[in-house]
Structure formats: structure tokens, C-alpha cells
Amino acid sequence: MYMSYNILDYCRMETGDFREERIPFFIFSLLNKTALVSEPHAKLKQLTFELEIEDELETLKVENDERRIIQVLLNLIMNSVKYTSRGKVSNYIFKLN
């Protein structure tokens, strides 16, 4: 599904029809969505999957393009799963000042 979004976004950029969807959402919820998609892939490779989220982020609400942020995070996390042959994939999410 996310691969289709990537292709569609690329086509929209090529035609100049690319638009952001800026909506309010909670960061914690977004991170949990990415974990729900990524963790089963790690388990298939017998990897331990860790997601540690700073407490402060549990109530942080932002306004941005949630779908595209999920795309980027999934790409990063899935690459870490893909290129890890044993052990664990650790994700530490914290707020920079």
C-alpha cells in the first residue's frame, strides 16, 4: 500500500500536482501505527523489535502531513529490518530542542 503512495506521489510531483495534507495528529499515535506495520516484519526475521518513545511525546500534537511522515518512518524502519541479519532493531524517538 505504501509503495503505491510513493509511486503516486512521484507522478504528482512530475506533473506539478503534488499537495500536502496538513492535519493535526498525535505523534504517539503515528509512531504506534508504524510499529504495528514494522514489528511483524522484524519477527519474521527473528529480530527483536524495540520502540522507545520519550514520555513527553505521548501527548504532543502536531499539524503536518501524517501520511507522508508515516511513509518516511516506515522506509527508515523497514530498511533497518531489511539490513539487520540478527539481533534487534531499536527505535528511540525523542524531542530535540
Residue 11's pLDDT is what? 64
The third-level CATH classification (topology) of the domain covering 21-93 is Heat Shock Protein 90 (3.30.565)
Report how far Cα 94 is from the mean position of its chain's Cα atoms.
Answer: 14
Task: Please tell me the pTM assigned to this model.
Answer: 0.75
Taking only the tens place, the pLDDT of each residue in 51-96 is 999 999 999 999 988 988 998 899 999 999 999 999 999 999 988 8
**pLDDT of amino acid 15:** 72
| DSSP track, 17-67 | ------EEEEHHHHHHHHHHHHHHHHHHTT-EEEEEE-GGGGG-EEEE-HH
- Pairwise pLDDT comparison (29 vs 11), residue with the higher score: 29
Domain boundaries of the chain, sorted by first residue: 21-93
